Amino acid sequence: TTDTDVIMKNSDFVISIGAALRNDSPAMKYAFNNVQKLNKGAGLYFHPVGDTLIPTFGKTVEIFNHKVGLEEAALYLVLDLFADKEKLPEEVKSYIDSFKKSETKTIKEKEVKTVKEMVLNEETGEEEEVSKKVTEMVDKEITVETNGLVDLLGGDASTFDAAFEKMMKKKESFSMMLGEDLYYHEKAENIAKLVALVEATCDIDVVMTPPKSNALGVALICELDDTQSGYTVGYNENGDFRLSALGNGDLDMPAMNQQEGTLCNIGKRVLPTNAAVEYNGYELNDLMKALVGAPELTVDWTVLLPTDRGFKAIAFDDLTNTFDNDGTDNRGYTLETLNVDTELPEVEKCDESALLEGEIAYRCNPARQFNDFTDKSHEIFETFALYASVEKAESLGDKVEVVFDNGSITLDVVADEKITGDIVKVPDFKAAQGVYDLFGESRYKTVTLRKV
């Protein structure tokens, strides 16, 4: 895997799947744009929600606004376009080839013919044979191969091959960005295998956007159950007992800028954080000390982070926190990665039965809102509302009730001029609204929209 800094410096071809770039990750949006503008690159963008910002990145960006649930097909297209076919399993090659179709088309073609005709010579009064060239448009039958994967994903197979050939000229470094849509996908396990197959057979670096701050660090040290059950404790989230830095929980906790510790960023760096604002209450470490025993300070855990997960046994006070004048990042350290040779994963075919139809809601925040803390900022004014294209917003009116299988939420309607299509966006940056409960294990849901 790679990170956005490497993409911006090295890549000249970038692919994005499963991420609403304008909303999900400013770093990934900037990297995608940077490849086009500064590296004179090209890109493929796959996402169900149309966004007028993406075409402005460059003329060599091919956009696929596909139906919800076709992310597997997008990865199969990546394999078709970029994989070393000798490395692909035979069943995968056969499946990809099943989308290819040859058809005969009749086209008009210019043809130059030599025509002979008798012309009267005015000087001699006799007819003479004269030859002249005449251009005619004639019908010609040709055999054309079309890629059904392109059409399935909302593209135009009749023009894609020619466009892709131009995009690939002088391209040497390839990257692929994967977004949060894939983590909540019904076929997430198969998608993970397809991504592994891309890494194994394509010369493509992969970067995965974290769904929340420090998601990578949490994933590395937490043991999670397959299903959630029983009494829950929510840390800045909903739960039966709430630990909160917002002042509205059962027990106060420090905010990010009120505590020392470490977090992992998208570049897989373990970064130190320092307290900028005073805090005089309990911390999570105080609960640990009372319940099971713990070091005196939260930062004393830093050196104890598991080395078998990529962490290093470095004390918090020994972590660097500087940049060089040339921009070199010296903060903390980079997680150790272990490369292991494994067999190619067995992947399943694309499940087209999982496609969503009807009115669809997408759990997605406005571009500048991420959580309750950004909502408290005096400089961010994007409201907690339903966001829709201008046309869709006009049809919905000022306020709607969004009805899910397990509940509903009433929201004001905001027209977003950059959205195209009929899918509406429901934000989740206010934990108390319980949006995650409504969407469950998915980022897209079929809903009923009722005017209020």
pLDDT at 4 over 90: no
Q: Model-level pTM greater than 0.85?
A: yes
Of all residues in the chain, what percent are helix, strand and coil, respectively (each to 5)? 30, 25, 45
Of the candidates 78, 79, 12, 23, which has an alpha carbon nearest to the alpha carbon of residue 51? 23
Cα–Cα distance between 377 and 155 in angstroms, integer?
40
For Cα atoms 184, 440, 400, give the angle at the middle one, nearest 5 degrees: 110
Q: Where are the domains of the chain?
A: 4-99+152-208, 100-146, 215-334, 357-451
Can you tell me which residue has the tokens 């490369």? Answer: 339
The arrangement of secondary structure in 357-451, i.e. its CATH architecture, is: Beta Barrel (2.40)
Cα–Cα distance between 447 and 291 in angstroms, integer?
44
Question: Is residue 267 very low, low, confident or very high in pLDDT (cuts 50, 70, 90)?
Answer: confident
Cα–Cα distance between 434 and 416 in angstroms, integer?
23
Burial 380-402 (b: 16+ CB within 10 A, else e): eebebbbbbbeebbeebeeebeb
Of the candidates 293, 294, 292, 313, which has an alpha carbon nearest to the alpha carbon of residue 302? 313
293-349 tens-digit pLDDT? 999 999 999 999 999 999 999 999 999 999 999 988 999 999 998 877 888 999 999
Q: Which of 3-17, 30-44, 117-131 has the highest mean predicted lDDT (pLDDT)?
A: 30-44
Whole-number pLDDT of residue 339: 79
Q: Is 386 helix (H, G, I), strand (E, B) or coil?
A: strand
Contact 168, 44 (CB under 8 A): no
pLDDT at 20 over 70: yes
Cα–Cα distance between 60 and 316 in angstroms, integer?
46
Cα–Cα distance between 27 and 4 in angstroms, integer?
7
Contact 13, 168 (CB under 8 A): yes
Cα–Cα distance between 164 and 62 in angstroms, integer?
8
Cα–Cα distance between 78 and 54 in angstroms, integer?
19
Q: How far out from the chain centre does Cα 288 lie?
A: 37
| Whole-number CA gyration radius for the chain | 28
In angstroms, the first-to-last Cα distance of the chain is: 47
Residues in the chain: 452
Question: Bridge partners of 46?
Answer: 17, 64
Question: Is residue 105 very low, low, confident or very high in pLDDT (cuts 50, 70, 90)?
Answer: confident
Whole-number pLDDT of residue 352: 84
Q: Which CATH class is domain 4-99+152-208?
A: alpha beta
DSSP of 312-332: ----GGG----B-TT--B-SS
- Tell me the backbone φ, ψ of residue 106, rounded to 5 degrees: -100, 120
Whole-number pLDDT of residue 411: 98
Calculated CA dihedral for residues 243, 249, 252, 254, nearest 10 degrees: 70
Question: Is residue 1 very low, low, confident or very high in pLDDT (cuts 50, 70, 90)?
Answer: low
CA-based torsion, 429, 433, 437, 438: positive or negative: negative
Residue with more model confidence, 248 or 50? 50
Query: For the chain, what is the mean pLDDT?
Result: 92
Whole-number pLDDT of residue 24: 93
Of the candidates 341, 230, 216, 200, which has an alpha carbon nearest to the alpha carbon of residue 266? 216
Contact 243, 286 (CB under 8 A): no
Contact 34, 26 (CB under 8 A): no
333-355 tens-digit pLDDT? 999 988 778 889 999 999 888 79
